[in-house]
Amino acid sequence: MPVSVAEYLGERTDTAKQILPLSALASKPKVPCPFRNSHCLKAAKGQQPVCSVRDTSGELWIVCEHRLCATTPKAGPVNEHQKKILRLVANAIYGNNISDEEILIKREEQIPITATSDYKADYIMWRSNARAGSPIDSDKAAIVEMQGGGETASTEKITAHLKNWALTPIPSNALLVQPTNAVPLVTNAWRRQQEQFLVKGSVAMLTGAKMVFCVGSLLYDYLIQRLTTVNLQNLQNASWSLALIAFVEDKDGVAPSCAPNSIQFKIDSNRTLYTNYFSFVQALTNQGAPQPNVFKGEYANLNGDKVLV
């Protein structure tokens, strides 16, 4: 589906507040990013500072790696936006009765696999105090990965649209939100994450921890549609080792002071999956069925002769 710009430099575009183009974009300026304690890396690279886009059905697709919950420790301590997202994740893992001081996190933690590997966990999360009467594994550590979205096909069309918008005498929001022919590349987002998911998940399982995958709604739907023929156990109230958690727009959410004009996110309770990690991996790898006809038909040998098989 074609997409339109939903957030530009941390500000939602469907608002009465006029969004101003970053006129100094060509000079690669350093401007604040409301989603972390640092500047916008896209603007600093001379790219258009688009945080998220929206398809024609209204679903959001995050196009900036720092938008959902930035992990870079060098950007300073987590800000109020990041705390809000991390609280939601902690509630989903450990329950609602958990305080900020109980939520322990490490960011960009190195995961040694080989001497040359560069695997890092977005977050390691742990609950500091076990609750009396809770299941034994309810407070296990978890590797938490944040993959709210990814790139789009025909991104240059968004770039061209924004340049035209910036050059108009009055760069209105109405023009800014006009749809472009760019589309979310959901398949690419998952393909890029598969190795990370398998390696980090295996490390988590072997260490007795959990794997939590926080995604956007489009990526969640993409994965679930490929598992429609599989009966995965719902272990939310039992001993689960994998959680797939979808973030969606929260139209009633209260924006933190660091990102007052941004779109708010929440966890979609209808798009969560708590199950066994190994069962999930097996379901992903066991897709498809024998198709002998695929291997029959007309071939050509390297001499150019046709051969019927």
For residue 137, the model assigns a pLDDT of 56
Q: Which residue has the higher pLDDT, 131 or 216?
A: 216
pTM of the model: 0.91
pLDDT in tens, 248-293: 999 999 999 999 999 999 999 999 999 999 999 998 888 778 999 9
Average pLDDT over residues 238-250: 96
Average pLDDT over residues 91-114: 92
| Cα dihedral value 4, 58, 10, 62, nearest 10 | -90
Q: Which residue has the higher pLDDT, 54 or 135?
A: 54
Q: Do the beta carbons of residue 78 and residue 38 sit within 8 Å?
A: no
What confidence category does residue 25 fall into, taking pLDDT thresholds of 50, 70 and 90? low
Helices (H), the chain: 41-44, 80-94, 155-167, 173-176, 186-206, 217-225, 277-285
Task: Specify the residue for token string 């957030």.
Answer: 7
Average pLDDT over residues 291-300: 94
Is the confidence at residue 299, as pLDDT, over 80?
Answer: yes
pLDDT in tens, 132-186: 444 445 678 999 999 999 999 999 999 999 999 999 999 999 999 999 999 999 9
Domain spans in the chain, listed from the N-terminal domain onward:
1-67+151-184, 80-149+186-309
- Percent of the chain at pLDDT > 70 equals 95
- Percent of the chain at pLDDT > 90 equals 78
Is the confidence at residue 27, as pLDDT, over 90?
Answer: no
Residues 6+ apart with CB under 8 A from 38: 32, 70, 72, 74, 75, 76
β-strands 210-216, 11-12 pairing: unpaired
Is the confidence at residue 48, as pLDDT, over 80?
Answer: yes
Average pLDDT, the chain: 91
